[in-house]
Amino acid sequence: MDIFELLKKDHRTVLEILDKLSSTTERAGKTRQRQLEQLKQELLPHMFAEENYFYPYILDRTDDKEQREKVLEGIEEHHAARGVLADLESVSVTDERWHPDLLVLKELIDHHIEEEEREIFDVAEEVIEDSSEAGKNFTKIKKEQKVHV
């Protein structure tokens, strides 16, 4: 599968989990905890593979300041998402503060995916020579990281 198809598939999976989580209530503690773990299993390896393969691949092949800035912004959005995810994990899933944190994470990820698919993909399409090979490399790095989550 080509890298763009893989990334979009991952994005849809993460958004589905976030949608399910955002519709839960404080009484659904076990469901929230299970879905939060599922979110981490999908999101963290994906971000790791983007940061360690996809984004560096693009940065190594473009000198265009605007294109580089878009990619670097994507990396910073990952850092922000990790921070909110850490906040989610530091509070009980039944705490009234948990759901607002989840909504912030969802907004961050929605925004990130929209920009990535609209802007970063455009840059990547210019520099990636073999999107199927890139997809294989991305999948390998993601699978290796999944073991550590």
List, for residues 126-143, the tens digit of each pLDDT value: 999 999 999 999 999 999
Look at the pTM and tell me if it is higher than 0.85. yes
- What single string gives the DSSP state of each residue in 53-102? IIHHHHHTT---HHHHHHHHHHHHHHHHHHHHHHHHHHS-TTSTTHHHHH
What percent of the chain is modeled with pLDDT above 70?
99
Are 102 and 20 in contact by the 8 Å Cβ rule? The answer is: no
pLDDT at position 93 is: 94
- Compute the average pLDDT of residues 72-82: 97
- Distances from the Cα of 120 to the Cα of 47, 98, 110, angstroms: 14, 31, 15
For residue 149, pLDDT beyond 70? no
For residue 147, pLDDT beyond 80: no
Mean pLDDT of the residues in the chain: 95
